[in-house]
A = this chain, B = another copy of it.
């Protein structure tokens, strides 16, 4: 498909506006609202029959902090300096950090929370301090990532930063989007659903000055006097793209996203002269908790060696599990701590009162598993994990038979995967070419761009929604600043 229509070939526009936003998820909604509030006429085009995107499908956790603490963090007695927030995020993604993007985000995240709350999203002044992917207690603050896990505890003071709509559980995205949509409508953004942006209109100078939108089988040409903002999601649903860019994960992935995550925004942006970066990175999550007590277990690879501290976030486990040679990851656990994981279907490889028998039945090299378990137990009894520094709270000798080996093979679990690569943009959303020169009139935000989270190793729940809404707003503001032409 040709993703560019030349401006010279357009005889007539069917519609005209200041700013076109392509895609009505979290990023697109925030971009449209800010552009409209700044005085632009805004047309929001959505491929599906209604807005929401992946943000609405999520719990809408937002990973926010800094500035001494967001209003929610402070109300609950947590201090979080901008430096502490930044140290944590840099440890997550270094060296793959866009310094200016990181600075704007860590300095502005607390004010972003106020903005979101002012949309009408309710947050409950309660903190869930347990270990769960999404707090189901109704509380609005929780630890979501690796804050309390090594090596992050070496560089940043643990603070809960996951901000969840009140009493929403996994439904936070609906709460958030309902509020956002109401403000978008009040503000007077024109929304057209069932309208898929298929092409950018670009003039001879390289300026993007409109889009072609397909609606009910008709192509409509829309002029954008100030600019076009691509918020079309990632590419996890585009199998040709995932085969090409994340081949190792393509085969085992449960594709996590919305059906519109077809890479449209990335493909159009690249066709207009932009560059896609970080395309080989993706979130891969193994929800080894809840229940939290499974954190007492240990993961071993096909050498029966441990490879990670088990108190990490599920995407960090996913990252290291995917790296191990072979597709054989097991949890070793004893009867005292065993339970079924809440979000995963796992198979038992072997159960026995003797680790030696378990080892033999599972086909590990003689002595390998026993040695790993002995070493772990010996140190756990003293509250130590000298190999991977799992936090003391999760250290307890695994010595209550029967013992179990539980399979966490990625090819069986088929972990959720979504993409973390996309267009290279300035923090203001301007799409840049490979030499980082902006393409006039073209902006992007959301998972269409390479944002703050750039690998699974450092990802935490809430990083995507925080990033896409925060930088969606900046893109809207930036486009609305442009002269009309």
A388 CA to B365 CA in the complex, in Å?
Answer: 10
Q: Which residues of B contact A305 (CB under 8 A)?
A: 303, 305, 387
Q: Write the A380-406 contact mask toward B (1 if CB under 8 angstroms, else 0).
A: 000000111000000000000000000
Q: Which residues of B contact A379 (CB under 8 A)?
A: 365
How big is the A interface, by class? 35 or more
A424 CA to B277 CA in the complex, in Å?
Answer: 15
A280 CA to B280 CA in the complex, in Å?
Answer: 6
A317 CB, nearest partner CB in chain B, Å: 13
With contact pairs A96-B248, A305-B305 given, residues A273 and B271 touching in the complex (Cβ less than 8 Å): yes
In the complex, chain A residues 249-291 whose Cβ is within 8 Å of any chain B Cβ: 250-251, 267, 270-271, 273, 275-281
A250 CB, nearest partner CB in chain B, Å: 7
A92 CB, nearest partner CB in chain B, Å: 13
A436 CB, nearest partner CB in chain B, Å: 8
Stretch in contact with the other chain, from A71-79, A337-345, A366-374: A366-374
A120 at the interface (CB under 8 A from B): no
Q: Which residues of B contact A278 (CB under 8 A)?
A: 280
In the complex, chain A residues 278-319 whose Cβ is within 8 Å of any chain B Cβ: 278-281, 303, 305-306
State how many copies of this chain the complex holds.
2
A306 CA to B245 CA in the complex, in Å?
Answer: 30
Q: Which residues of B contact A125 (CB under 8 A)?
A: none
Q: Which residues of B contact A241 (CB under 8 A)?
A: 434
A435 at the interface (CB under 8 A from B): yes
**A387–B6 contact, CB under 8 A?**
no
**B375–A371 contact, CB under 8 A?**
yes
A95 at the interface (CB under 8 A from B): yes
Scoring A251, A279, A368, A436 by chain B CB atoms within 10 A of each residue's CB, the highest score goes to: A279
A101 CB, nearest partner CB in chain B, Å: 13
Residues of A within 8 A of B (CB): 1, 6, 95-96, 151, 204, 240-241, 244-245, 247-248, 250-251, 267, 270-271, 273, 275-281, 303, 305-306, 323, 325, 365-368, 371, 375, 378-379, 386-388, 424, 433-436
| Shortest 10 CB-CB contacts between residues of A and residues of B | A365-B386, A280-B280, A95-B247, A96-B247, A303-B387, A305-B305, A267-B434, A323-B323, A244-B277, A371-B371
